[in-house]
Amino acid sequence: MKKLPILFFAFILLSNCNSAEKKAKEKNIIKANLTADSTLFTLKEDGYEAKLSTDSQNRRAKADGNTIFQRIGSFSYIISELYQKPTKVLKSPYSRTHYELDIKWSDEISFDIVRKKVLKKMQEEFEYSVEKGMFEQQTIILYKDDNARLQKAKHSTNSDALYKSSLEDGVWKIQATLEEFANELGDFSDQEIVIQEDTSNTIYNFTLSTNRGFSSILKQLQEVYGITSEENTVQVEHYVISFKNS
């Protein structure tokens, strides 16, 4: 009978060791998942390098330079930026994931060549098909109504990135020419937006609240930056993305 307490104690000790070992394994698994490489693919050839990885934050941002192209956002956003046309994604299995795309290239190669190579890799990686279509879309024309107010937003500091855009917590900050700004505003509103009679490369800084929707942004542009708008309806070509397993 005296051996029972000793055996019972040994059983408890063994159980505690197994439990500790199990927790250690679980901790190592969690640590491995946290430090796992989030890179989905890397393309590296003469003259350019491209990398696509997952992004843990629910955000959207972009930056452009003479030889850089950076985008952070949803699959739909990344794809539309690469195709450079309105894009409709049908039943995406990747709708909950955000991505970061970084492309750098040399002066010896054009971005259009690199863009097409990255799109080919994207299509292989995500297994989707592409078709062209037409649809009616509201076109909004932006006019410079008060140049004095607009000039207050003129960008005056040096920067490696000619174009920057970030949207966080309902605040949209964008550094761009008026043409680039109109294109980005079109992406935000899913509408065709153009700037009337502006071919300059002047860069402006805009800070806009997006919490009250698109109509509120147009109102801010008029009241703060002296830019008014007018609507029209046109036929627009777009890409339709569909997935093999959807």
Q: What is the pLDDT of residue 37?
A: 54
40 confidence band (pLDDT: 50, 70, 90): very high
In a domain, 201, yes or no: yes
> Is the whole-model pTM more than 0.85?
no
Domain housing 75: 39-243
CB atoms within 10 A of CB 47: 15
Domain-embedded: residue 48: yes
The least confident of 30-34, 101-105, 123-127 is 30-34
Quick check: is 16 in a domain? no
From residue 129, how far is each of 125, 137, 184, 221, 244 by CA, in Å?
12, 23, 25, 38, 7
Any domain includes 34 = no
pLDDT tops 70 at residue 203: yes
Asked whether residue 50 is assigned to any structural domain, the reply reads yes
C-alpha span between 242 and 245 (Å, rounded): 9
pLDDT score recorded for residue 13: 40
6: in domain? no
Mean per-residue pLDDT, 94-102? 93
For 130-174, the pLDDT digits (tens) are 999 887 777 899 999 999 999 999 987 655 567 888 989 999 999
Count other C-beta atoms under 10 Å from residue 215's C-beta. Answer: 10
30 falls within a domain: no
The torsion angle over the Cα atoms of residues 65, 69, 74 and 79, rounded to 10 degrees, is 120
The total domain count for the chain is 1
**Residue 30: both structure tokens together:** 């969690």
Q: Examine residue 11 and state whether it is found in any structural domain, yes or no.
A: no
- Proportion of the chain in helix, strand, coil states, percent, rounded to 5: 35, 40, 25
In the sheet that holds 87-89, the strands lie side by side as: 87-89, 227-243, 128-144, 192-195
